[in-house]
Amino acid sequence: MTSILLDLLNEQYSKDNVAKILEGYAQKRYTTLRINTLKTSIQEVKNVLENNNIPVISVPWYSKAFILKENNEEDIKKLDIYQNGDVYLQSLSSMLPVLILNPYEKQDILDMCAAPGSKTTQMAIETNNKAYITACEKNKIRLERLKYNLEKQGVTCCNCLNENALDLDSMFSFDTILLDAPCSGSGTINIEEIKKDIFSKERLKKITDRQEALLKKALKLVKPGGLVVYSTCSILKNENEMVLNKVQKQIALEIIPINISKEIETLPVDIPGTVCLAPNEYFEGFFIALLKKKSN
């Protein structure tokens, strides 16, 4: 089996780690959900799931998350708790960037690439609907999906902009910024997609150029001393460490070391303090960096 993605993985990781990645691609991932405490409680959701014979596993590092033992997302979508926005289907990996950013009440927060709203709604929940969130989405169709999810989840602290985050006026200034950047999705694919060879060097170059531009914009918009989370659902260093290294040469920033649960399987990284989650039956492959803009 050969492909551009596989070539890149072999260039960037040891044989053992490539084998671990391929094994992760081959796994069927468990369905996971996040509880919306703006509308309900953890215990209430647990009771509903138990009454519907849907056994769950609690997530030790996040009390608002459950792993479904046997059922899939279609079983959840049939329940009122899903229809009412009491729960949100989201991967465990996708929940981590917000927890690492650790937003709090009364902060001015920017979500640069917000749709469909997984992390936007999570930030609203973590700040009890009392932060000031600006969510950017340049695609009108995706913007409508974002607005729908915000309303369904009961989010009232968010202002949505139908705008490319790169075009935001420099007059804007934020305490913290979440940049979950558009990426190749190399951490989320399955083993069959490697064979389809959906990657190309041209596509990867276009993606990394955009990631670099977005990260530089984030660091311009965040206040001195403010925090930026840069994340991708990719395990390619081209989109992660290489982007960070380029930007770090142009803008003064500090990499704040991330500490995550030892139970979470990771891949080696080239920049100490950053994290790259390994794909497996519980997690998508995901890269996260916590950055602090240095004061001038």
Q: Which residues are catalytic?
A: 233
Which two tokens mark 243? Answer: 């982007």
Cα 64 to Cα 109, 188, 227: the distances in Å are: 21, 23, 24
User: Residue 212: what residue type?
Assistant: E
CA distance 293 to 227: 7
Euclidean distance between CA atoms 260 and 60, whole angstroms: 11
Q: Which amino acid is at 265?
A: E
